[in-house]
């Protein structure tokens, strides 16, 4: 597990050293704000112009990571899609999600926080409210109770900006999912 964390942190350092803005999302982020749970992958949202696609291919060298070919990277950036990086030695999978151009996605990225994760290491993580919003959306799409458990963990452990949270829950039509998450 420690090797996976170090691999993940080294990937984040590569992004930072190359001025590629990122934020941690998904189960790793919900663990920071809530209750720990095991996961075999890491989810990152990045902002990168298509002209810098080659930079991704260069920094995630084929000696260390599987990184898709340049044509796929460009296509995913243009279409605000996603792709995977896989660390050869550890098998760690990093899901790279290109930041969408929606109102919420841009607001979410702007609200990311630099949070200490180890003794002398801080990383950018989506806000707890935005993690809850995404988890509600994932629950709506797939029905997995793990998202509700993650939400409940965040609510139990972290102070939430309820005005912001409820505003986006209403705007994104997640009221039914919120009622399910907050009433159990």
| pLDDT score for 9 | 87
pTM reported for the whole predicted model:
0.90
Quick one: pLDDT band at residue 61, thresholds 50, 70, 90? Answer: confident
The domain of 72 spans 1-101+112-126
Q: How far is CA 169 from CA 27, 52, 93, 129, 164, in A?
A: 20, 34, 30, 10, 9
Q: What percent of the chain has pLDDT over 90?
A: 68
Q: In this structure, are 88 and 163 located in the same domain?
A: no
Q: How many structural domains comprise the chain?
A: 2
What are 109-150's pLDDT values in tens digits? 999 999 988 778 899 999 999 999 999 999 999 888 889 999
Domain harbouring 58, CATH code:
3.30.460.40
pLDDT at 104 over 80: yes
First to last CA, the chain: 31
Q: In this structure, are 28 and 77 located in the same domain?
A: yes
122 within domain boundaries: yes
Average pLDDT over residues 67-83: 95
70 within domain boundaries: yes
Quick one: pLDDT band at residue 70, thresholds 50, 70, 90? Answer: very high
R_g of the chain computed on alpha carbons: 16
| pLDDT score for 182 | 85
| pLDDT score for 3 | 62
Q: In this structure, are 21 and 73 located in the same domain?
A: yes
Q: In this structure, are 118 and 49 located in the same domain?
A: yes
CB 133 within 8 A of CB 172: yes
**Low-confidence winner among 41-50, 118-127, 154-163 (lowest mean pLDDT):** 118-127
Quick one: pLDDT band at residue 2, thresholds 50, 70, 90? Answer: low
Q: In this structure, are 121 and 143 located in the same domain?
A: no
Quick one: pLDDT band at residue 76, thresholds 50, 70, 90? Answer: very high
56 within domain boundaries: yes
Q: In this structure, are 143 and 67 located in the same domain?
A: no
DSSP class per residue in 111-125 = T-EEEEEETTEEEEE
């Amino acid at each position: 597990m420690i090797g996976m964390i170090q691999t993940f942190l080294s990937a984040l350092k590569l992004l930072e050293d190359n001025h590629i803005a990122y934020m941690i999302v998904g189960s790793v982020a919900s663990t920071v704000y809530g209750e720990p749970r095991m996961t075999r992958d890491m989810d990152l949202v990045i902002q990168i112009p298509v002209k810098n696609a080659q930079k991704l291919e260069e920094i995630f060298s084929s000696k260390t990571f599987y990184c898709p070919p340049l044509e796929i990277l460009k296509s995913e950036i243009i279409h605000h899609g996603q792709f995977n990086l896989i660390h050869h030695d550890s098998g760690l999978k990093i899901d790279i999600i290109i930041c969408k151009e929606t109102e919420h996605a841009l607001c979410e990225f702007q609200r990311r926080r630099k949070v200490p994760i180890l003794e002398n290491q801080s990383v950018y993580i989506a806000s707890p409210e935005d993690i809850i919003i995404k988890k509600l959306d994932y629950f709506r799409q797939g029905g997995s109770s793990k998202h509700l458990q993650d939400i409940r963990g965040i609510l139990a452990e972290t102070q939430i900006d309820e005005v912001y949270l409820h505003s986006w829950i209403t705007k994104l039509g997640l009221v039914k999912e919120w009622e399910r998450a907050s009433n159990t």
